[in-house]
Amino acid sequence: MLTIAAIVVAALNLRPALAALGPVLDQVKAATGASSAAAGLLTTLPILLMGLGALLAAPLRRALGERMGVAIGLLAIAVACGLRAIWPSTAGLLASAAMVGVGVAAVQALMPGFIKRTSGAGAPRMMGLYTTGIMAGAAVAAAMSTGVTRLAGWQVMFGLWAAPAILALLLWMRAAGRETTAPAGGPVVLRRPSMWKSPRAWLLLTFFGIGTGAYTLVLAWFPPFYASRGLTADQAGYALSALTVCEVLAGLAVSAAIARRPDRRPLLAAALASLLAGIACLLLAPWLVLPTVCLLGAGIGAIFPLSLIVTLDHASDPDSAGDLMAFVQGGGYVMASVMPFFAGWVRDASSDLSAAWLLMAAGVVAMMAMTARFKPGARV
């Protein structure tokens, strides 16, 4: 139970630095003088670094091990949040965004292998809880950001997130116990094929990248989109919070159902249909806020854990799970990082985000075509 708690609490800290930004993005822009494209970089930069960092998971695991690597990642997140409170300029925000990206990358690259190693046959369910924890942290951050900003300023609001990161660090160090990876000079393992040469690994990477691109686009630009449609900053923040609550509920539903569904394709098809319907509401009937929130939240909330679970299904042992997950998350986050910056550029050019939502819809259609390839028992 202590290990489960440590994993979930660590997961809770992987998105607040990003999710808390969207509801107050216009205030941050006004205070720092940043353009929409530069503001988009505050989400793009950590996502990009999360991807690049994940690609280094194997050497990171060999050099530091899972226990110490995750601990360093949580410490970096705590320091980055504190930095935002004392260096509230564009340069400071970009520096802290980079540090957040590095910290989250370390945790996300090493945690799946730890879960596979410690959970055995329960790894898919544990992965569902882990991803649900990630989305729950985003929900709490989105709900709190405008209220705390109104009371104490956005600098303090960002800085407060250092406290739960420190708590996660302490809990992780207590729960993870002794080192979980083989030390240098330990048992020799068979050389595995390179993920870079595997078409299946590239398919998983592309699927995860498009789905995460939808998540990051909504995370960064959903509140400003609805603020431009007449909602107040508080209302737009609450809408994002409600969306992330729907994500959490969808993630919990996936965790509950996944053990009885060895074929993930029906769940993926339902999630993608929900996401596509939500984008259609966003474009054609943006005044239908509640249906849009529910459809987008249910779709994104199910796709995120399912894409990681499907990836985990393709690995036969903990080490290959870590390598495959690092490859998929690394390249996928690099792909996804383009979306917030692209949306900011579109907004600067046209004062509208419709082109970004249309691109997201096209990506969902492509994911629907990919889903047919994920047959049970497939391996990289």
* Separation between Cα atoms, residue 293 and residue 300, nearest integer Å: 11
Q: How far apart are the first and last CA of the chain?
A: 32
171 with 247, same domain?
Answer: no
Residue 13: give the domain boundaries.
Answer: 1-177
* Separation between Cα atoms, residue 191 and residue 73, nearest integer Å: 28
CA atoms in the 13 A half-sphere facing the CB of 288:
14
Is 367 inside any structural domain? yes
pLDDT at 80: 94
DSSP letter for each residue of 206-263: HHHHHHHHHHHHHHHHHHHHHHTTT--HHHHHHHHHHHHHHHHHHHHHHHHHGGG-S-
254 with 323, same domain?
Answer: yes
172 with 208, same domain?
Answer: no
241 with 307, same domain?
Answer: yes
pLDDT truncated to tens, each residue of the chain (380 aa)?
888 899 999 999 998 988 888 778 778 888 888 777 777 788 788 888 888 877 777 777 778 888 898 999 999 999 999 998 888 888 888 899 899 988 998 898 888 878 878 877 777 788 878 888 888 888 888 788 888 988 888 899 999 999 999 999 999 998 876 544 444 444 434 445 577 888 889 999 999 999 999 988 887 788 888 888 888 877 887 888 788 889 888 988 887 887 777 788 999 999 999 999 999 998 898 889 999 999 999 999 899 889 988 988 887 776 677 778 888 988 898 888 888 878 878 777 777 778 888 989 999 999 999 998 888 777 76
Return the C-alpha torsion angle 109, 114, 120, 123, nearest 10.
-40
204 with 167, same domain?
Answer: no
pLDDT at 183: 42
Q: How crowded is residue 142: how many other Cβ atoms within 10 Å of its Cβ?
A: 30
3-class secondary structure per residue, 90-124: HHHHHHHHHHHHHHHHHHHHHHHHHHHHHHHHHHH
Is 184 inside any structural domain? no
CATH number of the structural domain spanning residue 241:
1.20.1250.20
Largest Cα separation within the chain, whole Å, is 62
CA-CA distances (angstroms) from residue 153 to 26, 30, 34, 227, 314?
13, 13, 18, 19, 46
12 with 150, same domain?
Answer: yes
Two structure tokens written together for 245: 């609550």
202 with 62, same domain?
Answer: no
Total domains, the chain: 2
